[in-house]
């Protein structure tokens, strides 16, 4: 999960999209973290805490996340 988070952060940085890594919530900038599941039968997952981005900024963020997931899957299959 950490490798995927780094891909997302780097993609956003290259595109000029604001995102931050961390588990604290309630900030103006979207935050991303890996949530470790409490139950052993559940896989870890990405958690996003959305900031105060405009619709256009959110579209850019989604594009960066989507692109990063594709790269991650191609790299780590």
pLDDT digits (tens), the chain, 77 positions: 899 999 999 999 999 999 999 877 667 899 999 887 555 677 888 999 999 999 999 999 999 999 999 999 999 87
Task: Please report how many Cα atoms fall inside a 13 Å half-sphere around the Cα of residue 62, on the Cβ side.
Answer: 7
Residue 16 near residue 56, CB atoms below 8 Å: no
Q: How far is CA 46 from the centre of its chain?
A: 7
Structure tokens at 61: 């963020």
Counted domains in the chain = 1
* pTM of the predicted structure, to 2 decimals: 0.85
State which residues form the domain around 35.
2-76
């Amino acid at each position: 999960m950490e490798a995927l988070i780094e891909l997302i952060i780097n993609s956003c940085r290259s595109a000029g999209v604001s995102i931050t890594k961390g588990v604290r919530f309630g900030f103006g900038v979207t935050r991303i973290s890996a949530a470790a599941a409490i139950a052993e039968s559940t896989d870890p997952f990405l958690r996003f805490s959305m900031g105060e981005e405009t619709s256009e900024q959110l579209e850019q963020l989604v594009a960066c996340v989507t692109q990063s997931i594709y790269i991650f899957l191609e790299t780590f299959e």
